[in-house]
Chain A
Amino acid sequence: MSKIKKTFASYDAAPENTSHIDLKAQYDLFINGKFVKPQSKQYYDTINPATEKKIASIAKGNEKDIDVAVKSANKAFESWSKTEPKERAKYIYRIARMIQERAREFAVIETMNGGKPIRESRDIDIPLAANHFFYYAGWADKLDYAFPNRKPKPVGVVGQIIPWNFPLLMAAWKLAPALATGNTVVLKPAESTPLTALKLAEIIQESGLPDGVVQIVTGFGDAGAALVNHPLVNKIAFTGSTEVGKYIQKAVAGSNKKVTLELGGKAANIIFDDAPIDQALEGIVNGIFFNQGHVCCAGSRLFVQENIADKVIQKLKDRMKTLIIGDPMDKNTDIGAINSKEQLLKINNYIKIGLAEGAEMYQTNCALPSQGYFCKPTLFLHTAQSHRIVQEEIFGPVLTIQTFRTIEEVIEKANNIPYGLSAGVWTDKGSKIFNLTTKLRAGVVWANTYNKFDPTSPFGGYQESGFGREGGVHGLLPYVHF
């Protein structure tokens, strides 16, 4: 039976069917319920990072387009803010259902445009996006219960700028609470991943949502800056880099604009010697390799108690050998393409820095596709707090590993970072979990799991990871005033 024995050395390709998706060659801006040409008449190419091939032309919105969009939103605010809350809810429910109905199409486009494995867009991004709309639709007519005796009112026109790592999901995180609370929106998707937001615009159009309630304006940083600085915008919600977050904070200083920022992170994932080791291992893998590590809450700093470090590292190396890196559209792919060339260069530069700093690198000897932007899953062993690769956000599949001796030591090290978005704790002992979760300075702390998201649970950071919460009843707060 020796012939049979090599069966599973590699699984045969299992590509997701892509023939059912409906994509146009060119996408315009979605303003006041219609798709309109950009005033600049300029378009740029959006590509598939796994093949480097063009998918479509995308309108390059500029300051003038933003101005038109904000004015449309401002006009629509008058009637939308007075629309019966239960009527608002109906539209949001409808959008949620339409996302569900077209889930497969959204998943394929998300993977095509962003490089993430189809397994993730299919099982995580798209269902969660629909769930966010469902969840906030439920709040629309219950705001008086969310804020008893405070008479919450919408803030007005909201400018929302979202990142490229979870394009549709971040649009859902932003739009759903804003609409539920009666605001109107101008949303700018990330330049590299506009397609699912534009498909969402089509759904919004079909849903019959009144014109001007949502505008989606594609473009680059200048369009984002114009949105932030527009005098008719009452609130900015931004998810992205800490650098841009600081710019926004400065730009709105002295204005009456409300701001929420969800920025970078460098989360500690802490493994104690009494942890369920094999499950913790999955948490490590999920923590850093989920979405190629393009996750602001990624568990990018691993802390392992020193007495089990050798064992955990050996197991982690073995586990990494089973990760499948390649075509994101293959249903078996675990790690897809890096989102853009620019990001790949940034990650590779950090790998160089890590080597120059003297950390020991480990990569599996998996083959990478010859085309597209790919990066091997990477470990850096023997790292210390003073390493740049430990201090700075890499936003890629690169994990640094440090050891610790005592609980006090690991708390100090975990907190010794300008960020504070998330953390993970692995131990069988409940009291240890509670001790740590109160002392770790992070907006989200996961115990014996990692990267768990739910619309009912608030998400957000401390310090340079930003402020404000999205999700849950807390996520309504930034969109109302009293």
Chain B
Amino acid sequence: MVLQIQSPTIDQVGVEERVARLMTRSIKKESKLEGLKLALNMIDLTTLEGKDTVGKVKQMCYKAQHLADDIAGLPTVAAVCVYVNHVKTAKRALVNSGIKIASVATAFPSGNSSRKVKIEETKMAVANGADEVDMVISRGEFLQGNYNFVFDEIAAIKEACGPARLKVILETGELSTLDNVRKASDIAIHAGADFIKTSTGKIQPAATMPVTLVMLQAIKDHYDATGIMIGMKPAGGISTSKSALNYLVMLYETLGEKWMSNEWFRFGASSLANDIILQLGKEKYGAYYSMNYISKD
């Protein structure tokens, strides 16, 4: 059967203008404080390096639970995100913390492997205790026009996930056009993604606001048509509080209040948390303090 998903066309200039307009929103006072806390609570604290070790993962898991103990009332991050072989370590470190464990899978970051290997890796991640699986789509197949292949692969991984939530990474930096981003979003959503995610963080550009806006609009159209909510995760390149607030404004004005929690929105980021802590610290102490007061796990 030939896959029939009608994606609307995207006008890049229009998307960029809308983003520029959203970025003029001025978020002050209580809105800013609450927004920053919410952003903190939406972070998937991430380490995805070849040099990841048990020690590194353990330290990051501790940080996830103790972002800045001197500031009262801080939430924890939403999840930690690691490679499959570190899921067990993270699981042990985060026991009873309420923090989810996300594992990348499917030959992350390139996705160049066989379906059998990808399914096995996904099953292993879930068996080891992952609550969420972050898969990559096969960009090569997508760019060759084999949309059915991409759809089937996502559907197969979704099945292998069992109870775990599936985040589908489009790697938008390799898809090149916003039309492709929209098409890939629609394919992923229809194939069973619980979340759609911009990037692996290994390719530049990673998450951008225009790309994220197009994906949010795909989610909105799906929700309007079916009533089913899909989550969104921009990942890579979001490192400042100001930029996190810009994303939250965009989320709020595109999808609304319902999506304003870490059940439906995540930031894939490693350095964002500390910048938010710096800002919240400023609110508490009245002045910026040295970054040396903030732990760098």
Pairing of A with B:
yes
Contact A332:B26 (CB < 8 A) given known A7-B35, A8-B260: yes
CB neighbours (8 Å) of A274 from chain B are: 9
CA A339 – CA B9 in complex, angstroms? Answer: 38
Interface residues of B, dominant DSSP:
helix
* Contact of B41 with A449 in the complex, beta carbons under 8 Å: no
A275 interface residue per 8 A CB criterion = yes
* Contact of A4 with B18 in the complex, beta carbons under 8 Å: no
CA A239 – CA B224 in complex, angstroms? Answer: 44
Residue from A276, A282, A449 within 8 A of B8 (CB atoms) = A276
* Contact of B261 with A1 in the complex, beta carbons under 8 Å: yes
A5, A7, A11, A332 — which one has the most chain B CB atoms within 10 A of its CB?
A: A7
Residue from A6, A283, A331 within 8 A of B14 (CB atoms) = A283
* Contact of B35 with A8 in the complex, beta carbons under 8 Å: yes
A119 interface residue per 8 A CB criterion = yes
Interface residues of B in 231-263 (CB under 8 A from A): 248-249, 252-253, 257, 260-262
B27 interface residue per 8 A CB criterion = yes
CB neighbours (8 Å) of A322 from chain B are: 253
CA A449 – CA B15 in complex, angstroms? Answer: 11
* Contact of A282 with B28 in the complex, beta carbons under 8 Å: no
A299 to chain B, nearest CB (A): 14
Contact with A along B74-108 (1 / 0, CB 8 A): 01000000000000000000000000000000000
* Contact of B37 with A4 in the complex, beta carbons under 8 Å: yes
CA A283 – CA B248 in complex, angstroms? Answer: 23
CA A154 – CA B24 in complex, angstroms? Answer: 43
CA A315 – CA B254 in complex, angstroms? Answer: 10
B30 interface residue per 8 A CB criterion = yes
A55 to chain B, nearest CB (A): 24
Contact A314:B224 (CB < 8 A) given known A1-B261, A12-B30, A275-B9: yes
A9 interface residue per 8 A CB criterion = yes
B51 interface residue per 8 A CB criterion = no
CB neighbours (8 Å) of B287 from chain A are: none
Contact with A along B1-42 (1 / 0, CB 8 A): 000000011110111011001001111111110110110010
* Contact of B10 with A279 in the complex, beta carbons under 8 Å: yes
* Contact of B9 with A14 in the complex, beta carbons under 8 Å: no
Contact A282:B257 (CB < 8 A) given known A4-B37, A332-B26, A428-B9: no
CA A283 – CA B24 in complex, angstroms? Answer: 18
CB neighbours (8 Å) of B217 from chain A are: 278
* Contact of B38 with A4 in the complex, beta carbons under 8 Å: yes
Contact A7:B34 (CB < 8 A) given known A282-B18, A314-B224, A331-B24: yes
Contact A12:B24 (CB < 8 A) given known A4-B38, A7-B34, A282-B17: no
Q: Which residue of A lies closest to B29 (CB)?
A: A12
CA A272 – CA B8 in complex, angstroms? Answer: 12
* Contact of B11 with A123 in the complex, beta carbons under 8 Å: no
* Contact of B38 with A11 in the complex, beta carbons under 8 Å: no
A277 interface residue per 8 A CB criterion = yes
A328 to chain B, nearest CB (A): 14
CA A322 – CA B10 in complex, angstroms? Answer: 21
CA A5 – CA B29 in complex, angstroms? Answer: 16
* Contact of A14 with B14 in the complex, beta carbons under 8 Å: no
A292 to chain B, nearest CB (A): 17
Chain A interface size, under 10 / 10 to 19 / 20 to 34 / 35 or more? 20 to 34
Q: Which residue of A lies closest to B8 (CB)?
A: A277
Q: How many residues of B contact A (CB 8 A)?
A: 35
CB neighbours (8 Å) of A11 from chain B are: 25-28, 31
Residue from A9, A119, A428 within 8 A of B24 (CB atoms) = A119
A4, A315, A428 — which one has the most chain B CB atoms within 10 A of its CB?
A: A4
Contact A5:B260 (CB < 8 A) given known A274-B9, A332-B25: yes
* Contact of B27 with A123 in the complex, beta carbons under 8 Å: no
A151 to chain B, nearest CB (A): 41
* Contact of B9 with A1 in the complex, beta carbons under 8 Å: no
* Contact of A448 with B14 in the complex, beta carbons under 8 Å: yes
Q: Which residue of B lies closest to A8 (CB)?
A: B252
Residue from B17, B224, B260 within 8 A of A7 (CB atoms) = B260
CA A12 – CA B28 in complex, angstroms? Answer: 6
CB neighbours (8 Å) of B24 from chain A are: 119, 123, 331
A13 interface residue per 8 A CB criterion = yes
Residue from A1, A119, A279, A282 within 8 A of B41 (CB atoms) = A1
Q: Which residue of A lies closest to B253 (CB)?
A: A322
* Contact of B31 with A276 in the complex, beta carbons under 8 Å: no
* Contact of A276 with B30 in the complex, beta carbons under 8 Å: no
* Contact of A8 with B31 in the complex, beta carbons under 8 Å: yes
CA A227 – CA B17 in complex, angstroms? Answer: 42
CB neighbours (8 Å) of B257 from chain A are: 5-6, 8-9
* Contact of B262 with A8 in the complex, beta carbons under 8 Å: no
CA A13 – CA B28 in complex, angstroms? Answer: 7
* Contact of B8 with A448 in the complex, beta carbons under 8 Å: no
CA A184 – CA B240 in complex, angstroms? Answer: 53
B47 to chain A, nearest CB (A): 24
Interface residues of A in 342-371 (CB under 8 A from B): none
Q: Which residue of A lies closest to B27 (CB)?
A: A11
* Contact of A276 with B260 in the complex, beta carbons under 8 Å: no
Interface residues of A in 271-292 (CB under 8 A from B): 274-280, 282-283
* Contact of B11 with A4 in the complex, beta carbons under 8 Å: no
Residue from B13, B21, B25, B41 within 8 A of A4 (CB atoms) = B41
Interface residues of A in 5-49 (CB under 8 A from B): 5-14
* Contact of B75 with A4 in the complex, beta carbons under 8 Å: yes
* Contact of A279 with B29 in the complex, beta carbons under 8 Å: no
Q: Which residue of A lies closest to B255 (CB)?
A: A318
B266 to chain A, nearest CB (A): 14
* Contact of A331 with B35 in the complex, beta carbons under 8 Å: no
Interface residues of A in 288-342 (CB under 8 A from B): 314-315, 322, 331-332
Contact A449:B13 (CB < 8 A) given known A5-B257, A322-B253: yes
Ranked nearest first, the 8 interchain pairs of A and B with the lowest CB-CB distance are A279-B14, A14-B26, A276-B11, A7-B34, A428-B9, A331-B26, A279-B11, A12-B29
What are 12 pairs between A and B in contact, CB < 8 Å? A1-B41, A1-B75, A4-B38, A6-B257, A7-B38, A7-B260, A8-B31, A13-B28, A276-B9, A279-B13, A322-B253, A448-B13
Q: List 5 additional A-B contacts (Cβ < 8 Å) besides A12-B28, A282-B14.
A: A5-B38, A7-B248, A8-B35, A275-B9, A279-B13
Interfacial residues, chain B to chain A (CB-CB below 8 A): 8-11, 13-15, 17-18, 21, 24-32, 34-35, 37-38, 41, 75, 217, 224, 248-249, 252-253, 257, 260-262
